[in-house]
Amino acid sequence: MKQPARDAFSTGRSKAIRDRRLLAIEKILADEYLATKAKLANDPSILEECIEATRRLKTFIERHVVTSDITNRLPSQSHHLEPLEIERYHLKMPMDSQEKDRVEGHLMWCPSCLLQLESMESRDSKLPARKKLER
């Protein structure tokens, strides 16, 4: 019997990393909104700025649209992970906590490396399920 394919975007480690990235972006926008709202109480002339912050947060929550000014505020990566590092992470091979944090942190902000992880997950989801060996 053929096993149903798992969607790489709905299962696996890449989804957890994408979720963490979205939460970090949402926090940036929510902080921007709250700061603008607090300033509005003392300075009604910034009403347009407050409306814009509200619109950006609402758009992100509804559609996950990130504007370039927010993207520019995200951590950038000057290098990429080695494919072997991504493979080890994907296969849940033993890593010390510092190495795991470094790999997850990089994957959170590097679309290229995250795409490699998703590709590995997608490839593996198409493999037949492993049967337990009978003794």
**Tens digit of pLDDT for each residue in 95-125?**
999 999 999 988 888 888 999 999 998 888 8
Quick check: is 131 in a domain?
no
Per-residue pLDDT, 3:
39
Which letter does DSSP use for residue 6 in this model?
Answer: P
68 and 29 in a single domain? The answer is yes
Q: Is residue 25 part of a domain?
A: yes
103 assigned to some structural domain: yes
Residue 35 CA to residue 73 CA, distance in Å, equals: 16
Which of 74, 98, 115 is where one domain is finished? Answer: 74
**CA–CA dist 128, 7 (Å, integer):** 15
Residues 53 and 20 in one domain: yes
**Residues 108, 62 share a domain:** no
Structural domain containing residue 22: 14-74
Residue-averaged pLDDT of the chain: 82
Q: How far apart are CA 57 and CA 133, in angstroms?
A: 52
With a cut of 60, say whether residue 10 has pLDDT above it: no
What does the alpha-carbon distance between residue 76 and residue 83 come to, in Å, rounded to a whole number?
19
The rounded percent of the chain whose pLDDT value lies above 70 is 85
Domain count of the fold of the chain: 2
49 and 83 inside one domain = no
Type of residue numbered 17: I
Whether 69 shows a pLDDT value over 90: the answer reads: no
- Segment 9-27 shows an average pLDDT of 80
Domain check: are 54 and 91 in the same one?
no
Q: Is the domain of 116 the same as that of 87?
A: yes
